[in-house]
């Protein structure tokens, strides 16, 4: 998914150190935004000098790339498993939402970065995989919703594109306030979100 590594002189460096540094970078990117984050800041946080980061990575952008692409790889591992399971539309939605909250739990920083930056990054060829992913995402969710409308599981009186955006946003914005280790587990949050999305917050007449 990431742009092809050129010669990747740097790619051979010890993978554990890379992970550590990427985790740090992701946190800083998530907290202050990619553009506003200086490479010196990341290095500070890692206890090294700015230049030293370039032993491990080609560029600031390649850190971002690796953060986002490895997140998306994992996300799609989960999604693809759900989609291949042959569930009904409602159960599929439930599983996708649950899986999403699990990803938010595991990759909070990456998700937050994705939320803030993917729109303008998608324009760059290097981040073309973001657009691809978005497309797959849309196909999967919209398709499931349509199946649900067709077989009577979901309401037919709603604009399905609005519904799609509603469900999609509803889930992912959670990354902006979610803190791992909070009082609710991802599964519990997913359960409540699903309850709201599927049945509404109003008491039934």
Partner DNA sequence: TATGAATGAGCGTTCATTCAT
Partner DNA sequence: TATGAATGAACGCTCATTCAT
**CB count, 10 Å around CB of 203?**
5
Our CA angle for 31, 35, 40, nearest 5°, is 80
Instruction: Decide if residue 6 touches a second copy (CB under 8 A).
Output: no
The span from the CA of 103 to the CA of 189, in Å, is 12
Report in angstroms how near the CB of residue 29 gets to DNA at its nearest: 10
Task: Indicate which of a second copy, DNA, none lies near residue 52 (CB less than 5 to 8 Å, by partner kind).
Answer: DNA
Task: Indicate which of DNA, a second copy, none lies near residue 97 (CB less than 5 to 8 Å, by partner kind).
Answer: none
Q: Report phi then psi at 36, rounded to 5.
A: -75, -10
Binding mask 118-147 for a second copy (x = CB under 8 A): -xx---------------------------
Are the CB atoms for 55 and 10 separated by under 8 Å?
yes
Task: Indicate which of a second copy, DNA, none lies near residue 90 (CB less than 5 to 8 Å, by partner kind).
Answer: a second copy
Q: Report phi then psi at 172, rounded to 5.
A: -75, -25
Where does this chain bind a second copy (CB under 8 A)?
A: 31-33, 35-36, 90, 116, 119-120, 152-155, 157-159, 162-163, 165-167, 169-170, 173-174, 176-177, 184, 189, 192-193, 195-204
């Amino acid at each position: 998914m990431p742009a092809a590594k050129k010669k990747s002189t740097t790619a051979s460096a010890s993978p554990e150190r890379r992970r550590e540094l990427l985790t740090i970078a992701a946190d800083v990117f998530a907290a202050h935004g990619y553009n506003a984050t200086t490479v010196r800041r990341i290095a500070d946080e890692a206890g090294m000098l700015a230049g030293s980061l370039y032993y491990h990575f080609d560029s600031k952008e390649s850190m971002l790339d690796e953060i986002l692409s490895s997140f998306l790889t994992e996300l799609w591992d989960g999604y693809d498993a759900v989609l291949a399971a042959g569930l009904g539309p409602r159960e599929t939605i439930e599983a996708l939402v649950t899986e999403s909250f699990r990803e938010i739990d595991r990759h909070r920083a990456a998700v937050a970065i994705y939320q803030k930056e993917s729109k303008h990054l998608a324009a760059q060829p290097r981040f073309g995989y973001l657009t691809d992913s978005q497309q797959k995402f849309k196909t999967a969710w919209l398709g499931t919703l349509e199946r649900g409308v067709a077989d009577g599981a979901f309401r037919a009186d709603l604009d399905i594109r609005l519904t799609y955006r509603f469900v999609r946003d509803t889930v992912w914005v959670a990354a902006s306030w979610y803190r791992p280790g909070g009082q609710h587990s991802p599964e519990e949050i997913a359960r409540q979100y699903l309850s709201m999305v599927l049945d509404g917050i109003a008491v039934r007449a």
